[in-house]
Amino acid sequence: MQNNHEEDVTSQIELELLLEAIFRQYGYDFRNYSRAHVKRRLYNRLRQHELASFSQLQHAILYDVTVFHEVLRDLSINVTEMFRDPAFYASLRAEVIPILKTYPYIKIWHAGCATGEEVYSFAILLMEEGLYERSQIYATDFNTDVLETAQKGIYPTSRMKEYTLNYQAAGGKESFSKYYTARYDAALFDPELKKNIVFAEHNLVTDSVFSEVNLIICRNVLIYFNRSLQNKVMELFAESLIKGGFLGLGTKENIMFSPVESLFKVLDAEQKIYQKKFV
């Protein structure tokens, strides 16, 4: 009979083999994701399929692509909302937008865009600041299911009250209802907002530089990576930004102790907004 320690070690080995199997079979690399995040999501999947171990889940994933897609959804980070953390958008409006206005054309990369609420939020901000017509937004995620939702721009009307409050707190200049049409339980956002948005599949773990951009927004994604992967992604961001470009991270993320820390100056320490140095 195994004791608790032996069970923990066995479970850990099974988890490592499961993640390796996903990478080899399907090309998605979760090997450097935070173990706490991965375990939490996969234990839930074990319960739903009434499986006893990660080894049993590995067998199911390898021989049933439907189960793999369920696990892929489990491991995607899709917690988001319109104008999430309004102070972040207010700071962008005050600190970053005036500088972006000095460029004839701006490119923005929204990495790990999930279902797109924050992409549309930024599109609204650009529109209100008179910048949208000379902007190109690249909204990327590795999960094609959430990208499909993002492209549609349809969200539950039940969340519009919360989103309206966020928008107002972020310094919105119009009536938020101007940007969507509500029908029954669905709110369709103005197609004009997506005119300059390119939704594309891109995996921060395995893919290279996406484009040379003026601003990168990647919020509350890096917290799910281990330190090694965080550093790799930070280097990718530094490479993708022009000199003087901006990086916006999530509230629990920062560039301190990363290999690229010296390349950036802090623009807003509380809201985690940074600017790449010119030299």
- pLDDT, one tens digit per residue, over 155-209 is 999 999 999 999 999 999 999 999 999 998 999 999 999 999 999 999 888 887 7
Sign of CA dihedral 90, 91, 95, 97: negative
The most confident of 4-18, 61-75, 113-127, by mean pLDDT: 113-127
225-to-110, 119, 222, 230, 255 alpha-carbon distances in Å: 18, 22, 5, 6, 14
The whole-number pLDDT of residue 6 equals 61
Region of residue 33 (left: phi > 0; alpha: psi -120 to 50; beta: else): beta
What mean pLDDT do residues 88-104 have? 97
Structural contact between residues 114 and 141, judged by C-beta atoms closer than 8 angstroms = yes
- DSSP class of residue 265? E
**Nearest to residue 137, comparing CAs of 152, 122, 158, 156?**
122
pTM of the model: 0.88
Please provide the average confidence, as pLDDT, over all residues in the chain: 93
The whole-number pLDDT of residue 1 equals 46
- Taking 90 as the threshold, does the pLDDT of residue 117 lie above it? yes
210-to-13, 35, 237, 239 alpha-carbon distances in Å: 34, 27, 9, 10
Structural contact between residues 128 and 174, judged by C-beta atoms closer than 8 angstroms = yes
What mean pLDDT do residues 29-56 have? 91
- DSSP class of residue 190? P
CA distance 45 to 57: 8
Q: What are 69's two structure tokens? A: 């897609």
- Strand arrangement, sheet containing 186-189: 154-156, 186-189, 180-183
41-to-28, 29, 143 alpha-carbon distances in Å: 16, 15, 16
Q: What are 162's two structure tokens? A: 């919360």
pLDDT band at 91 (very low <50, low <70, confident <90, very high): very high
Cα-trace Rg, the chain: 20
Residues in the chain, how many?
279
107-to-17, 53, 237, 244, 258 alpha-carbon distances in Å: 40, 46, 14, 13, 25
Residues 6+ apart with CB under 8 A from 234: 222, 255, 258, 259, 260
- Strand arrangement, sheet containing 213-218: 197-201, 135-141, 106-111, 213-218, 241-249, 273-276, 264-268
The whole-number pLDDT of residue 149 equals 94
273-to-82, 128, 158, 165, 209 alpha-carbon distances in Å: 18, 21, 31, 22, 20
β pairing state of 135-141 and 197-201: parallel
